[in-house]
Amino acid sequence: MRALRLGSAAVLCMGLLALGGLRAADEPKTELKAGDKAPEFTVKDDTDKDWNLSDHVGKSIIVIYFYPGDLTGGCTKQACAFRDDSKKLADKGVEVIGVSGDSVKNHQLFKKEHKLEFTLLADEDGKVAKAFGVPFKVGGESKVKVGGDEVTLKRGATINRWTFVIGKDGKIIDVNSKVVADQDSKKILELVEKLDKK
């Protein structure tokens, strides 16, 4: 009788697990593509002020690039490439915004260390990444060099490297989920040049 009870409990647990799996699979997943309206959001920028997408739409083409972590290898290459191409991008009417799960303080260190002039947003809970359908995991830390010293930076979320280009009409022009860090700014320049010719 006890064995039968245990067997029934196991079947019930397996059934509940299966239902849970179905529920997770049925949850709608955001999959933004060219032509979709960019999701509205407000989040803290690197000066600890609220940054709203709606305040910027219509003024320029907006590049929102998600990256895993401040001061890490690939992310530094990507940010420095955007820094180095900043005049060319600005001349084409492009505003660059970096987004990671780092804190405002981490962003301030990153900007100072590499003389970054564009805005970095602190998506510590991953809500912006989620709105854009970008995969992320909670938490994360990196041992990095700041001013010659090794420090450990902790972040609220580690977000995959994706880049979105948003037109002045607030609609997405391009989504890149396979970003090559040090080539990202060049790809954006190529894309904007093609748009200019249309």
- DSSP run (H or E) holding 138: strand 136-138
CB-CB contact of 185 with 82 (8 Å): yes
Counting every residue, how long is the chain?
198
Residue in the structure block whose two tokens are 């245990």: 6
> Positive or negative CA dihedral for 88, 90, 92, 94?
positive
Q: Calculate the alpha carbon distances from 118 to 33, 91, 95 in Å.
A: 25, 14, 8
Whether 80 is catalytic: no
Question: Of 63, 64, 71, 75, which is the active-site residue?
Answer: 75
Q: Cα–Cα distance between 144 and 162 in angstroms, integer?
A: 22
| Whole-angstrom distance, CA of residue 38 vs CA of residue 56 | 12
Strand, helix or coil at 179? coil
Enzyme catalytic residues: 75
